[in-house]
Amino acid sequence: MDTINKRHKLSQDLKEEARKLGFNPIGIARVPGGEKIKLRTASLQRWLNAGHQADMGWMEAPRRQNIEELLNGVKSLLAVGLSYYVDKARQPNSLSIARYAWGDDYHRVMEKRLKKIGHWLEKERPNCRWKICVDSAPLLDKAWAEEAGLGWIGKNSNLINTKKGSWIVLGHLLSTEELIPDSPAIPLCGKCQDCIKACPTKAITEPFVVNAQLCLAYHTIENRNSVLPKKITDSLGTWVAGCDICQDICPWNKKKLLSSNDPEMMPKDWVLQLTKTEALEWNDNQWKDKLRGSALKRIKPWMWRRNASAIQDIKPLKLMRSSEKAP
């Protein structure tokens, strides 16, 4: 078998290993990538220069703009997505929590599964080296997922897939192996600006640009100040952890989507029925117990109470399928 055919087979087998572990969509990109990666990198620097990262200093890590610094000799990457869309809705009069955090901590879920793929690749190519990157790693994860064909970056800065919408978490396996790349995704937002119009704080200042200093998700998860800005509290609605407003409104998410049956993505009971009273009354130990194994543990107990205290009014919510979109 010649070299090209060997690379093609390895690439297809690698994707198949990812499918076996529940990943979908899946794609491969060649490093250093094409013109779009250069444009995305330049956009990141403009975003940083504008101060849109707020207190998230880790976004300024130089390695984020140079994938070669993450793995010396990297030639390809496998990009994978995992759907966290579950067709359920929060209970009436409960607080809202971003969907990505309903189930188990996706960082651990993705890392555990990607390691299995890395070990498989190691057996196939004993001399190769690989590295896992999941969200918190200094990688332009959405840009590389776009380069690998998983979907395009929408005007709300989320990656959108035609079949999964934007309800997917991303992971990457960097490798020193030369693999056969997929075609980069083509943007399909068109003239739609629903996400921009829907944001209550106007955090999406222009297409593809989100100012964290105006974002409900940033303030409920990352802001470590004892009091939230008035502009944020005035717009919180029922959001106590994160925010899905710009995703709920997206036409690609209003399509009939397949609900995940992945056991690690299933929502914990308390997440869909947390009341303001409970959020304020639970002590630190109760919170730590609830947050064990959850991505929500990033929000400290006192922050939950701060966020809940800032929520001024919880309007009655009728039970509905999540596909009908709660307000």
Mean pLDDT of 99-124: 97
Q: How far apart are CA 64 and CA 249, in angstroms?
A: 30
For residue 78, what pLDDT is reported? 98
Token pair recorded at residue 267:
């929502």
From the list 59, 32, 104, 51, the residue with the least C-alpha distance to 267 is 104
Report in angstroms the alpha-carbon separations of 58 from 172, 203, 225.
19, 20, 18
The helix/strand count (H/E) of the chain reads as 12, 10
Assess contact for 182 and 28: CB atoms under 8 A.
Answer: yes
3-state SS class at 212: helix
Mean pLDDT of 135-140: 85
Report the percentage of the chain scoring pLDDT > 70.
95
Task: Categorise residue 151: left if φ over 0, alpha if ψ from -120 to 50, beta otherwise.
Answer: left
For residue 136, what pLDDT is reported? 75
Token pair recorded at residue 264:
């690690």
Asked if residue 154 has pLDDT above 70, the reply is: yes
Which residue is associated with the tokens 């250093």?
A: 32
Q: Output 65 or 73, whichever has higher pLDDT.
A: 73
CA dihedral 143, 144, 149, 151 (to 10 degrees): -40
For residue 137, what pLDDT is reported? 83
Domain positions in the chain: 3-87+103-175, 194-324
Task: Categorise residue 220: left if φ over 0, alpha if ψ from -120 to 50, beta otherwise.
Answer: alpha
For residues 101-121, one letter each, b for 16 or more C-beta atoms within 10 angstroms of the residue's C-beta and e for the rest, the string is: bbbbbbbebbbebbeebbebb
User: Which is catalytic among the residues 2, 104, 135, 269?
Assistant: 135
14-41 pLDDT tens trace: 999 999 999 999 999 999 999 999 988 8
284-307 pLDDT tens trace: 999 999 999 999 999 999 999 999
Annotated active-site residue 244? The verdict is: no
Token pair recorded at residue 210:
């989100």
For residue 318, what pLDDT is reported? 38
182-214 pLDDT tens trace: 999 999 999 999 999 999 999 999 999 999 999
Query: First and final CA of the chain: distance in angstroms?
Result: 57
Amino acid occupying residue 299:
I
Rounded to two decimals, the pTM is 0.91
Mean pLDDT of 319-325: 36
